[in-house]
Amino acid sequence: ALLPTLPAAVLVLIAWAALTGGLHLDGWMDTADGVLSHRSRERMLEIMRDSRVGAMGVIAGTLLLMFKLSLLASLLALRPMSEALMWLAIIPLWSRWWMSVAVIGWPRARADGG
């Protein structure tokens, strides 16, 4: 409420990334590097395990952050502000819940449990 919409959205995005340690963004970029490499399954998993980020990961990470920023700016423009604050609380909770469902429901990528 103290800042214009776009700077406030940037601060929320920074806070979300800080709270998760960037874990979700790192996983997104690793996945993009592997899947968009168009290699064999084994090579994709190798690429995803590598700690370095490739071009596809950087592109995917940048586009994801731009998308989140635009959504947050739209959300923070809502009036009354209480509705925006409600969504700012629900969105992270929903994403963690969905991640738990995915971990339980989807098969593992590697036989060793990774």
Q: What rounded mean pLDDT belongs to the chain?
A: 90
Mean pLDDT for 84-113 is 84
Is pLDDT larger for residue 34 or for residue 81? 34
The pLDDT of residue 71 is: 93
pLDDT at 103 over 90: no
Q: What angle do CA 92, 88, 71 make, to 5 degrees?
A: 95
- What is the CB neighbour count within 10 angstroms for residue 55? 10
Long-range contacts of 88-92 (CB under 8 A, 24+ apart): 88/12, 92/16, 92/19
The pLDDT of residue 83 is: 85
Mean pLDDT for 105-109 is 85
- Give the start-to-end residue ranges of the domains of the chain: 5-105
Q: What is the pLDDT of residues 50-92, one digit of tens each?
A: 999 999 999 999 999 999 999 999 998 887 888 888 888 888 8
